[in-house]
Amino acid sequence: MFYGILTFASCFSGDLHGASVAAPSKLPFQHELEVFRSGLNLPISAKAEQISMPDRTLKIRAKKSGENSAIEPLQLVIGSREDDVSLMANRLARPGKVNELSTYFFQAIRGAPPLKPGSASRMVTIDKAGFDLIEPEAFAALFARTHYKLQVDGQALNSQTSLKKKFFDQLKPYFSERERTELLTRLRRGASLAVDSLLLPEFARKMVKRYIVYRGPNCFHAALAFQSPLFTRSSLVNIKEEEGYHRAMINYDELWRAISSNFYEVDPSKVDLKYGDMLVFFDVPKKLPATIDYRWIRHASTYLFSGYTFSKGSKSPNTPYAVRTIAEEWSTWQKYSKNLGVKVYRRSAKDVNAPINADLTDWVY
C-alpha cells in the first residue's frame, strides 16, 4: 500500500528549446560520496527534528486549489482494494468519521485513473468536503520530513583563530558587514549561533522549515535564491512562466543557463567544499558523451558546512525547505537515478548580490 505520494522524483518541469542543451564536460562527474570534503568543520550540535505541514497550509490547499491552478491540491496515493481504503481511512479520519471517509475515498477512487497501466493504486484529490473528514495532523504526518537544527558552539569557535577566520571568509559574500560584526560579537561573548536564524542568508533564513502551498518553487529555485534573490527575480534567468505553476519555478534549462553564466566548476576531489557551493545531482548515461545535457539534472542543493546542506526536495509543496546531510541528499537521489553523478559549482562574483551576467546571445525568449 502507498501512503502519500512520491514527492522527490522531480525538481524540474519543462524547458526552453532555444537554450543551449549541451555544454562541454571539463571535469569528471563524482560518483562516490566519500570524495566530498568539508572546508569548514565547525564545533556544532545537531538535533534531528520532524517538521510537517501546518493546518493553515493544508486548509488553503484543500479550499483554494480550485480557484488558483498554482496552488497544489491535497492528494494521496491509495490502493483500490477495500483493505487499503479502510486502513487509510482509519489512519486519517477525524474521530467518528472513519466510515464517511472510507465512502469518500471509494467514490474518489472510482473516478481516478490508475497510477500506471495495471496498477491497483489511484491518485485521490481531496477537496474541502474530504478535508473536513480528515485529521490535519495525521495527514501532515504522511509528508513529515527531517530537518537538522544546528547550533555552533560560539565559545569553542572563538577560541580557534584560524577556523574562525576561515568561517568569516566563507560567510563574507553572503552576509553584510553589519551582520558579520553581530556574529563576531556573539562569538566573543561565547554565545552559540543558531544556524536557522543566524547563519543562513536572506532567502534561506526566511524559508527554512517552511512548507508552501504553491506548485512550482523547487530545488533549483532554492539553490539560486540562496545565492541571491536577484537570480530568481530576474527576467534574465527566470524567463518562462509555466502554466499551472507559480512564477518562481526555475526550469532545469534556466538553472543551467544561470550556472553557465555566473558560476565556475570546482573539482571536489582536489578542492574542499565551501559555504554556498551548489551541488548539482545528475542522472548521467553510462556511456558518457563529450558534452553535458542539462536534461540529466535531477536536483540541486547548497552546501553549508560540516556535512550539511540547505535544499527543497521538489517542486511539490509536499516537501519543505530544510537542512539535511549531504549523505541524505546523496541517498535520496541515488534512488531516483540509474547512474548518479554530482558536480560542484561556485559563484564567481565576490559579492553574490552583484548584478548577474546579462549575456543572452544564445538564449531565445
Is residue 10, in this structure, part of any structural domain at all?
A: no
| 284 shares its domain with 320 | yes
Has residue 252 been placed in a domain? Answer: yes
Considering just the CA atoms, what is the radius of gyration of the chain in Å?
A: 22
| pLDDT confidence of residue 354 | 59
Average pLDDT over residues 352-364: 41
pLDDT of residue 236: 60
Residue that terminates a domain, selected from 118, 141, 164:
141
Residue 17 has pLDDT above 50, yes or no: no
- Examine the pLDDT at 350 and tell me if it is beyond 80: no
Using the 3D structure, point to which of 141, 164, 184 is the last residue of a domain: 141
Of residues 103, 99, 121, 100, the one with CA closest to residue 112: 121
Question: Do 307 and 174 belong together in one domain?
Answer: yes
* Residue 26 maps to a domain: yes
Whole-number pLDDT of residue 249: 78
Say if residue 310's pLDDT is above 70: yes
**How high is the mean pLDDT of the chain?**
89
Same domain? 301 vs 320? yes
Q: Which of the four pLDDT bands, split at 50, 70 and 90, describes residue 271?
A: very high
**Pair 42, 61 in one domain:** no
Same domain, 60 and 204: no
Range in 23-37, 92-106, 269-283 with the lowest mean pLDDT = 23-37
Does residue 304 lie in a domain region? yes
Please report the pLDDT score of residue 18 as a whole number.
Answer: 42
Per the model's pLDDT, the better-predicted residue between 229 and 358 turns out to be: 229
Are 193 and 342 within one domain?
yes
Find the range with the poorest average confidence among 23-37, 61-75, 241-255. 241-255
- Report if residue 354 sits inside a domain: no
Residue 23 is classified by DSSP as E
Examine the domain organization and report whether 109 and 217 are in the same domain: no
In terms of domains, do 271 and 150 share one?
Answer: yes
User: pLDDT-derived band of residue 27, with 50, 70 and 90 as boundaries?
Assistant: very high
Task: Report CA-CA distances (Å) from 261 to 256, 258, 312, 345, 349.
Answer: 9, 5, 23, 11, 11
Answer whether residue 180 is part of any domain. Answer: yes
Are 90 and 196 in the same domain?
no
Q: Do 297 and 163 reside in the same domain of the chain?
A: yes
In percent, the amount of the chain with pLDDT more than 70 equals 85
pLDDT of residue 250: 85
pLDDT beyond 50 at 294: yes
Question: Of the residues 141, 170, 204, which one is the last residue of a structural domain?
Answer: 141
The verdict on residue 116 lying in a domain is yes
pLDDT at residue number 3: 40
Higher pLDDT, 165 or 6: 165
Least reliable range by pLDDT among 6-15, 310-319, 333-342: 6-15
Position 59 in a domain: yes
* Count: domains in the chain: 2
Q: Where do we find the cell 493553515?
A: 56
Question: Averaged over 321-334, what is the pLDDT?
Answer: 97
Containing structural domain, residue 167: 22-51+145-347
Mean pLDDT on 224-244: 75
**216 and 133, same domain (yes or no):** no
Residues 26 and 160 occupy one common structural domain = yes
CA distance 89 to 279: 40
Q: Is 289 exposed, middle or buried (0-12, 13-18, 19+ CB in 10 A)?
A: exposed
pTM for this model (two decimals): 0.89
